[in-house]
Structure 1
């Protein structure tokens, strides 16, 4: 009404109206002034404009009413499992016209995400086994289907399923994984498990599409033989909603739920050892006798080898005190058989000198690290701690 009042104000102020008349490809505009025309003709145009606005307003109200009814029906379908249509005797396709404008409505007219048959059969679940085996070769598959399990949306398994599951002998699973939204309609292989062969039955490929709303539709076809049936993966029903600190768990392999995992404490790894004696020439692996710190028990004092207990970033250090005969002395840090860092000293005088080297690297779980005395002379005693080896875990990687 505010818009209509504005029109009245314009009419009162300018006392004019405009109309267009098509003449070929050009348009002709007539403007009336108070000296040329009476108020009746421009006011008539104002009335016409107001009527058009009322008509548009009524159309908008009607569209909003339809949209609200559609939202209510969609919510009821999601919340009330009893309203789900199953592919049983007397059932048929379920259509969902989710389009919100003319362009999307035209697109949805041919989109299988809006035109599919609900397939809700509990025996298709991957945790279901029965003596009454099903055969999808006997089903007259037509169009597209969306899998449900007791009224809740579900999808096909992407991994091999044990035989005698999904209510049949050889359960059919999707090879190649599900597509993403941007992939559109894709073709995927379907395999049936039998005699310890996950793809013993190579069923004809099917078409799959990912839909907005985190669900998939499938264009199922008849398998080549009996008894084969398409599976519905119950793990995706629950486990797809589990958080990062949760795992999908089940006591009876039927009812699944998200279970919080116990937070694993961060691994603490620190060690420091020394060799209280003299070393001369080549020593393949120094066996450090005195161990002062061994948090995590990753260092072996008998062998002198550190074994990485977890994957992560480690920092090591090693030192020596060279002899007095002027020869060079080299100690090497060895990681998985590779010499990666050296502690090198060489002096020409009769004095001795110490040297400390450090090295940081990323290790996998089980990596082996030790020190080799390649050449020269090193000395130490019980109190000096000049021939040492140590390290720490800086960052654990999972």
Structure 2
């Protein structure tokens, strides 16, 4: 074939690809004009043009195959939800939905909107992002019907999240009356739901019958708390019929909680959104010295030489430490006796003398004494050291008259 024929074929293929990409751009709202700008000039070598054509044709075939697979999976999942026949004894399985249900039964991958935490380091394997939506109104704790469901007939696989008419809901943590939740013995969660930091936990499940909340002890299930005030469950087949997993209608309010709130309940009946406590992570440490002699009574030692003042709570001009947050603190202070007799230093907290560094020597000897004190302080508490009696010795490099402390734990008082 002639070289002109090759160029004609390449030009034709490029036009076809341009049409296909234009259609794709109309669907996905993307601009492909830049993609073909370089090929409209006709100054590219023939081998490079052919290689580009073959590569783009393979990409289009791959995308077409993926779209076909997605369409087939959707067409297979949704219609089957309403085609499963109900058994003659009126036992419903997972896919026989009552009226009012939104008929949602599919695997959902969550991305972004529920939030991800530091605990969820691998979204590809985290059930909080990969679960099956279970939205069946007959599972609600306020639903009673003559038709009874049996979850033992369901082929449970993987993790599930409960919904009620499109709104997030969770399992009850209290005994549910019999003949509710579309079954005879409703299954409820024993031991309560976990916290996010608990990860995946195993919980017992009980079914109420004949006034016994745990007449039926179903096999345990796994539960995980997810950011966004919802839970995922790894359901298994109950031990008998007619038992079915319940959805607590009282927990619908939890789906309205903000990211900064938690859904709580004291009686496990009335639920409410409550703002999360802000954990203060304070880093407070200080260490200072007095680089000279002290004699007699000094109401407040002004430690002028400050080595560490993390958090800035120690004031070197006044010698006073002011607690920046409420919590547990530990302090230390010391003296070096500069002559015979008694020398006393006291730690003062909010005007109260609480701990002493005491020494009593005879003759020209010198003795050092270090004292420590641990206490709980409110924010704004004032701490300093007073020289009550005697003589203390120090110089610019000795660090024998010192005062320091640290915040050990933030604590609400």
Q: Same fold (TM over 0.5)?
A: no
Q: Rg: which structure is higher?
A: 1
What TM-score do the two structures reach when normalised by structure 2?
A: 0.39
What TM-score do the two structures reach when normalised by structure 1?
A: 0.41
